[in-house]
Amino acid sequence: MLKKIVSFGFRHDSPPVEPGTVLVDVRTMFRNPYYNRNLRHKRGTDPEVQRDILKTPDFHVKYQYVKEQVTQPGTEVAYIGCTGGQHRSVFLAERLGQDLGVPVEHRDIGRE
Residue 14 belongs to a domain? yes
Whether pTM > 0.85 for this model: the answer is yes
Report pLDDT digits (tens) over 23-60.
999 999 999 999 999 999 999 999 999 999 999 999 99
Domain that holds residue 47: 4-106
Residue 59 belongs to a domain? yes
| H/E segment holding residue 61 | helix 59-70
The number of beta carbons lying within 10 Å of the beta carbon of residue 12 is 15
Percentage of the chain lying above the pLDDT 70 cut: 100
Residue 112 belongs to a domain? no
**Overall number of domains in the chain:** 1
> Given the DSSP bridges, would you call strands 21-25 and 77-82 parallel, antiparallel or unpaired?
parallel
Residue 26 belongs to a domain? yes
